[in-house]
Amino acid sequence: MSSSGSRIVVITGGSKGIGRQVAFKFAGESAKIIIVHYDPDETDSDWTLNALSEKGVEAESHKVDVSSFEAVDVLFKEILSRFGRIDVLVNNAGITRDTLLMRMKEEDWDTVIRVNLKSVFNCTRAVIRAMIKQRGGRIVSISSVVGQTGNAGQVNYSASKAGIMGFTKTTAREVAARGITVNAVAPGFVDTDMTAVLSEKVKDTFLRQIPLGRMGRPEEVADVVYWLCSDAASYVTGQVIHVNGGLYM
């Protein structure tokens, strides 16, 4: 908790989808919310900021490419110089560039690994010294069920999400003694723009494999992220929490 009583919370990819719902969860405790997104069309981030402002929350958004080590470093230095601390980092930004391995271009591989995995290194690296000095902090990264199971057509994406699992466990071990918890949440098939582009055939195939028989809602993932950042989860670290309607058990 910061000295002013409000937690300083950074959410990458907080402009829409799961990240937006995570921001709404933190709005309930009057946290100071900093959203990072990258699309030059700011419609989504503006919508989220307006919704947060209507809830009476202080929030801001920054258009920064989380895959850039330098840009992330500059952003976090600026945040730390203004607020003096960061209490929560949610590494949520992610993209897909799906195709079969034999057709995948090097650029599709590199882009997904940079945006989904290197970004987690960039942001966590940028915040970790401050959290160590604070002797506390919460880091939650959004992985995916396919990081565990694999999924044909997503070799880049599933490798990036499996990478987050290893990153989470190692970082958790390195900083546990400083009171920092580091966890991952692995959603299954969630109703956002990311899955809206899938064909009905692909969606039906997924749905048939989900015991709860439906897609997840972004709020259902956000609830678990928020719990991991709460006092109720003070003894949980190095974990990958699956939120997938039973798709993977």
Active site residues: 157
* Closest distance of CB 134 from ligand NAP, Å: 25
Q: Is 59 in the site for ligand NAP (CB under 6 A)?
A: no
Q: Which of the stretches 52-60, 102-110, 172-180, 183-191 binds ligand NAP when contact is defined by CB under 6 A?
A: 183-191
Q: Determine the Cα–Cα distance for residues 240 and 72; give it in Å rounded to an integer.
A: 25
Q: Determine the Cα–Cα distance for residues 71 and 166; give it in Å rounded to an integer.
A: 24
CB 157 within 8 A of CB 98: yes
Q: Is 112 in the site for ligand NAP (CB under 6 A)?
A: no
Q: Report the residue number, 94 or 163, with the smaller CB distance to ligand NAP.
A: 94
* Closest distance of CB 68 from ligand NAP, Å: 8
String of DSSP letters for 22-82: HHHHHHTTT-EEEEEE--S--HHHHHHHHHHHHTT--EEEEE--TT-HHHHHHHHHHHHHH
Tell me how far CA of residue 229 lies from CA of 75, 107, 160, 226, in angstroms: 22, 35, 23, 5
Instruction: Tell me the three state secondary structure of residue 186.
Output: strand
* Closest distance of CB 91 from ligand NAP, Å: 8
String of DSSP letters for 122-149: HHHHHHHHHHHHHT-EEEEEE--THHHH
Q: Is 19 in the site for ligand NAP (CB under 6 A)?
A: yes
Residue from 6, 183, 192, 237 that binds ligand NAP (CB under 6 A)? Answer: 192
Which tokens in the block code for residue 26? 């933190």
Q: Is 131 in the site for ligand NAP (CB under 6 A)?
A: no
Cα 40 to its chain centre, rounded Å, is 20
Which tokens in the block code for residue 199? 């064909």
Q: Report the residue number, 160 or 237, with the smaller CB distance to ligand NAP.
A: 160
Q: Which of the stretches 59-67, 77-85, 132-140, 173-181 binds ligand NAP when contact is defined by CB under 6 A?
A: 59-67
Q: Is 37 in the site for ligand NAP (CB under 6 A)?
A: yes
Q: Is 23 in the site for ligand NAP (CB under 6 A)?
A: no
Q: Report the residue number, 17 or 137, with the smaller CB distance to ligand NAP.
A: 17
Q: Determine the Cα–Cα distance for residues 249 and 247; give it in Å rounded to an integer.
A: 7
* Closest distance of CB 36 from ligand NAP, Å: 5
Q: Is 108 in the site for ligand NAP (CB under 6 A)?
A: no
Q: Is 106 in the site for ligand NAP (CB under 6 A)?
A: no
Residue from 15, 124, 181, 183 that binds ligand NAP (CB under 6 A)? Answer: 15
Q: Is 67 in the site for ligand NAP (CB under 6 A)?
A: yes
Strand order in the sheet with 180-187: 59-63, 32-37, 8-12, 88-91, 137-142, 180-187, 240-243
Write out the residues near ligand NAP by the rule CB under 6 A.
12-13, 15-19, 36-39, 65-67, 92-95, 115, 142, 144, 187, 189-190, 192-195
